[in-house]
Amino acid sequence: MDKFTKLTGIAAPMPLVNIDTDMIIPKQFLKTIARTGLGKNLFDEMRYTLDGAEIPEFVLNQPAWRKAEILIAGDNFGCGSSREHAPWALLDFGIRCVISTSFADIFYNNCFKNGILPIVMPQEVVDVLMDDARKGANARQTIDLEAQTVTTSDGRVFNFEIDSHRKHCLLNGLDDIGLTMEKATSIVEFEKKAQALRPWA
């Protein structure tokens, strides 16, 4: 997993609420056995017509946001299916950070496993970031994970919360499985205890 430390990039505004993972990556693209290559189908049904032509109104098809690395999104982003193909598609497109008032639980977890930083901000801050993002490609926002800040293109700074374990893993690009395997002794102890208490499990 790539580290996430500091990012300065174009932010795309997507104010629609309840953007679900079926919208982010429709089911026909889940038939892959790889993690890569999904970026071209990110938001497929919002982004292309049935015959594959770009829909010019869609934000990521507009010249200002084609190279967006940050999404400013409406409430409850990533709801629905647990498909990790959603963060894979975002990452493959080049999105490294999503900011919203809330995220669905599984999507939120999945982001951290792929070096994407999801940031929860109150509505009034999301509104400011959304307006800033609407200015287009010259309005770059900066995300500083170490300092836990988002800075708008005109220098306004907002703090965000993140739990220390997830921050540590993102900053260092750490693999969860390796970290858990260091606790193998605790797992073995637990299994012995559970076998005595709940042998049927």
Q: Give the interface with another protein as residue ranges (CB under 8 A).
A: 15-18, 20, 22-23, 26-28, 30-35, 45, 50, 74-76, 79-84, 87, 102-106, 109-110, 113-114, 163-165, 176-177, 180-181, 183, 186-187, 190-191, 194, 197-201
Compare residues 38 and 143 and give the one whose CB is closer to another protein.
38
Give the nearest distance from C-beta 122 to another protein in angstroms.
13
Give the nearest distance from C-beta 26 to another protein in angstroms.
6
Closest CA to 86 of 169, 153, 29: 29
Compare residues 63 and 201 and give the one whose CB is closer to another protein.
201
Give the nearest distance from C-beta 118 to another protein in angstroms.
12
Q: Specify whether the CB–CB gap between 9 and 96 falls below 8 A.
A: yes
Compare residues 147 and 181 and give the one whose CB is closer to another protein.
181
Q: CA 94, CA 69: separation in Å to the nearest integer?
A: 5
Compare residues 41 and 142 and give the one whose CB is closer to another protein.
41
Q: CA 38, CA 109: separation in Å to the nearest integer?
A: 19
Q: Specify whether the CB–CB gap between 81 and 111 falls below 8 A.
A: no
Beta bridge partners of 158: 150
Give the nearest distance from C-beta 199 to another protein in angstroms.
6
Beta strands per DSSP E along 86-156: 97-100, 117-120, 140-144, 149-151
Give the nearest distance from C-beta 45 to another protein in angstroms.
5
Q: CA 62, CA 55: separation in Å to the nearest integer?
A: 9
